[in-house]
Amino acid sequence: MVTERQRYLAYMLRLWQVGEDKMVWRASLENAHTGARQGFASLDALIVFLEEETGQDPSATAGESCLDSGESWGQESESHQGG
């Protein structure tokens, strides 16, 4: 987990399916700042990691999207274009 609270995290997300009888999703995240990669055996494990990284309480954000909070993607992306 990040020791100093960061207001911006960037990852490259990769998703793929494995298995023959029962297909399951696997995931990996590559930190855009450090290049470090982390793999996940399930989407649940990925979500737990992201909740820990952001300090989010999973019950507080269940069913809520970023647009629900009044934020728009256009405003968010414009505020991060400079770096």
Beta strands in the chain (DSSP E): 11-18, 24-31, 37-40
Tell me the pLDDT of the chain (83 aa) as tens digits: 555 566 889 999 999 999 989 999 999 999 999 999 999 999 999 999 999 999 887 666 566 655 555 555 444 444 444 44
CB 27 within 8 A of CB 43: yes
Q: What is the dihedral of CA 46, 49, 55, 57, to 10 degrees?
A: 50
Q: What is the pTM of this model?
A: 0.64
Residue 50, phi then psi, degrees to nearest 5? -65, -40
Alpha helices in 1-83 (DSSP H): 43-54, 73-79
